[in-house]
Amino acid sequence: MTGFTVALVLVVAAAGLLRWRRPAWYWLAFGIILATLRVLVRYASVMDACGLTVPPARWRLALARATNRPMPESRPPRILRLRPTRTGLVLRLKLRPGQDAFDVAAASDRLRHSFSMYGVTSRELRSGVVEVRMTGYDVLKRVQMPATTETRPMRVPVALRQDGSVHYRDYRAVPHALTLGATESGKSVYQRNLVVGLAPMDVALVGIDCKQGVELFPLARRFSALADNPDTAADLLDALVTRMADVYQLIRAQQRITVDVPDAEIAADIWDLPEHLRPVPVVVLVDEVAELALFASKEEEKRRDRIITALVRLAQLGRAAGIYLEICGQRFGSELGKGITMLRAQLTGRTAHRVNDETSANMAFGDISPDAVLAAIQIPAEMRGIAIAGDSSGGWHRIRAPHTSLRQAVNTCNRHADRTPALPELAPFRPALAGPTAAPVPSAKPSPATA
């Protein structure tokens, strides 16, 4: 008996320790079973208490009256499926007549407390069926991406969502994106995760990093072109516009529409071209975009107009030519001059890290979703890397990218350096590499020889 008691105490202590230090392991070892039991046992009473039940149907009442049985009780939504996951539980519910998905969404905070879960979100799957996703612990506190994610061309698993699912950056669905955030809010780490995700794919990476190249130049071996100042950036963007025109010429040459060509084979963008002819897609990463739009003299103003015009053209026409923009900055509004709001309107994907004021959040979500603006302002300063990711359909999620260090990113880029395509148009901007050990992480102190 004492042996049993000691074992029990040990297990409870281990569970408590795990829950405190390693919530993800606790969830896998104990949480899943406890939470599943809790949900199944308390389901009917919790749903009743949360106002998610409907009175019994009239024919049941009539039947009970006729046969002199006890009156039937109110019924909660039927559980179609209960699926435990790595981070929580997923419930699929069939709504009763008269209920709607909004009822469940409105009760999600009550459900969270009643089932003692960390977070509860719900969404409609189809008419009458709602999926309720519950998380057992704060998945964004220590982001761990699942080992296997769905792989598709040009789709990068970049962050984890609050409900435990993976957030993808899908370039074919959302060609261009804007990432905003105050300084030190995690924009560059997010962009670094994108580079790490794109590195093993068949894609050319182009970087414009006007912070003297500190973020992107260490990753140079995987980049086909890099610019670290506005002058080079202007030439680089012009070269990209030229490339875009060439790709459109290629697509036109391939179209040859005659009556016997099936509709599906008429090429209108690079993905319709046969594989041996398809130009490699290009992702253009711009960090600290405001540097490109500021000017102090007449000369610089001309350069600025050239840059913004090229960016607007790439944003308007680049998608079908396989040129995708990924723009990061602290603010991106009309105070940066003409053309900026036009460019912003083309950037469909929106992500906002912590921002200091409502106007900055409005630059990301003002034209999409007022709730997302509020959520972006409420991100706490100490939770760096947390962001609100929205799309033009008005939906948004809290996400956080894993904390990939510059060293890890450099290693990944070097491992896939042989995948770097040499694009002839961009050859002048190819970063110079000094041997296989190139792209060192800059050292903190200049060496005596260079000082």
Q: Which residues bind ligand ADP (CB under 6 A)?
A: 181, 183-189, 384-385, 400-401, 403
- In the bound state with ligand ADP, the residue whose beta carbon lies nearer, of 352 and 401, is 401
Q: How far is the CB of 404 from ligand ADP (least distance, A)?
A: 8
Which does residue 183 touch among Mg ion, ligand ADP, none (CB within 5 to 8 A, set by kind)? ligand ADP
Q: How far is the CB of 382 from ligand ADP (least distance, A)?
A: 10
Q: How far is the CB of 235 from ligand ADP (least distance, A)?
A: 25
333 is in an annotated binding site: no
Q: How far is the CB of 403 from ligand ADP (least distance, A)?
A: 4
147 is in an annotated binding site: no
In the chain, the amino acid numbered 185 is: S
Chain-centroid distance of CA 261 in Å reads 38
Q: Which residue is nearest to Mg ion (CB)?
A: 188
- In the bound state with Mg ion, the residue whose beta carbon lies nearer, of 99 and 188, is 188
**Do residues 130 and 122 touch, judged by C-beta distance below 8 A?**
yes
Terminal alpha carbon distance of the chain: 74
181 is in an annotated binding site: yes
Alpha helices in 336-405 (DSSP H): 340-346, 358-365, 370-377
Q: Are strands 349-352 and 396-400 parallel, antiparallel or unpaired?
A: unpaired
Which does residue 350 touch among ligand ADP, Mg ion, none (CB within 5 to 8 A, set by kind)? none
**Do residues 254 and 395 touch, judged by C-beta distance below 8 A?**
no
Residues engaged in binding Mg ion (CB under 5 A): 188
Which does residue 218 touch among Mg ion, ligand ADP, none (CB within 5 to 8 A, set by kind)? none
94 is in an annotated binding site: no
- Reading across the β-sheet that carries 78-84, which strands appear in turn? 78-84, 88-94, 129-135, 119-126
- In the bound state with ligand ADP, the residue whose beta carbon lies nearer, of 49 and 145, is 145
- In the bound state with ligand ADP, the residue whose beta carbon lies nearer, of 136 and 385, is 385
- In the bound state with ligand ADP, the residue whose beta carbon lies nearer, of 339 and 402, is 402
Contacts of 186 (CB under 8 A, 6+ apart): 353, 354, 384, 385, 386, 387, 401
If residue 226 lies in a helix (H) or strand (E), which one and from where to where? strand 223-227
224 is in an annotated binding site: no
**Do residues 280 and 270 touch, judged by C-beta distance below 8 A?**
no
**Do residues 92 and 81 touch, judged by C-beta distance below 8 A?**
yes
Q: How far is the CB of 5 from ligand ADP (least distance, A)?
A: 42
- In the bound state with ligand ADP, the residue whose beta carbon lies nearer, of 189 and 241, is 189
**Do residues 256 and 162 touch, judged by C-beta distance below 8 A?**
no
88 is in an annotated binding site: no
Binding-site residues for ATP: 181-188
Binding-site residues: 181-188
